[in-house]
A and B are shown apart, each in its own frame.
Chain A
Amino acid sequence: SQKIEQNSEALNIQEGKTATLTCNYTNYSPAYLQWYRQDPGRGPVFLLLIRENEKEKRKERLKVTFDTTLKQSLFHITASQPADSATYLCAPGGYNKLIFGAGTRLAVHP
């Protein structure tokens, strides 16, 4: 069955550093992949979408890569800030539905 794996451990980094989150998927060939941010008690908020024919996508301090050979996406936040602290969800998609990973909790310390 399709499986999405994200770092299960929380990621703690110092303010100003680059955070790198990993998303691996198996038994799946998604046409695109979306990254969401979720704060406690809130719904997922869309951040970036990358298609299977795109290697990299950038938006402000965010960068996403998509390696269909490795079946992996990396999500980077450069110059991280305490306000970036949240859970980040990877969601590969196809056939009109997203399959979510469990998410990685990021904590950025001042």
Chain B
Amino acid sequence: EAGVTQFPSHSVIEKGQTVTLRCDPISGHDNLYWYRRVMGKEIKFLLHFVKESKQDESGMPNNRFLAERTGGTYSTLKVQPAELEDSGVYFCASSYGQGSSGNTIYFGEGSWLTVV
């Protein structure tokens, strides 16, 4: 069974450009999460989808970040325009049931973003 897959694995863009990260959750997982780790910091929650609906987007840093999950399958996270402080690793994760019920949350390998 395929795990959580993310694309691209690495991306280098210039400040002001746009980047779109994609995540394919484990098949059958309705819950999809985005997390990120910026240099030297802990992994931080960004947002949570249940199917196509945003359940919690309290961790989104600002309105330059837009996450979508049309059709409740894969998700995209767009950063527009990118700033230097957006550099880091963006992790996507998924779970079968709600995380609040103690369901295991599985992570992808991450999309490494460098803004220059």
Q: Quick one: which of A95, A99, A101 contacts B100, CB cutoff 8 A?
A: A95
Main secondary structure, interface of A, reads: strand
Q: Quick one: which of A4, A96, A99 contacts B56, CB cutoff 8 A?
A: A96
Q: Let me know if B43 is at the binding interface, CB within 8 A.
A: yes
Interface size counted on chain B using CB atoms at 8 A: 24
Q: Let me know if B16 is at the binding interface, CB within 8 A.
A: no
Q: Are B42 and A94 in contact (CB under 8 A)?
A: no
Q: Are A97 and B108 in contact (CB under 8 A)?
A: no
- Which residues from 92 to 116 on chain B have a C-beta closer than 8 Å to any C-beta of chain A? 98-100, 102, 104-110
Chain A interface size, as a band, is: 20 to 34
The residue on B at minimum CB distance from A103 is: B42
Q: Are A49 and B109 in contact (CB under 8 A)?
A: no
Q: Which residues of A contact B42 (CB under 8 A)?
A: 4, 100-103
Q: Which residues of B contact A4 (CB under 8 A)?
A: 42
Provide the bound-state CA to CA distance between A36 and B106, in Å: 10
CB of B86 to closest CB in A, whole Å: 19
Q: Are A32 and B59 in contact (CB under 8 A)?
A: no
- Which residues from 29 to 59 on chain A have a C-beta closer than 8 Å to any C-beta of chain B? 31-32, 34, 36, 42-46, 49, 51
Give me the interface of A with B, judged by CB distance under 8 Å.
4, 31-32, 34, 36, 42-46, 49, 51, 89, 93-103
Give me the interface of B with A, judged by CB distance under 8 Å.
4, 31, 33, 35, 42-45, 48, 55-56, 59, 91, 98-100, 102, 104-110
* A to B CB contacts below 8 Å, 21 in the list: A31-B100, A34-B104, A36-B107, A42-B110, A45-B107, A46-B106, A49-B102, A93-B100, A96-B31, A96-B33, A96-B48, A96-B55, A96-B98, A97-B33, A97-B56, A97-B99, A98-B43, A98-B99, A100-B35, A100-B43, A103-B42
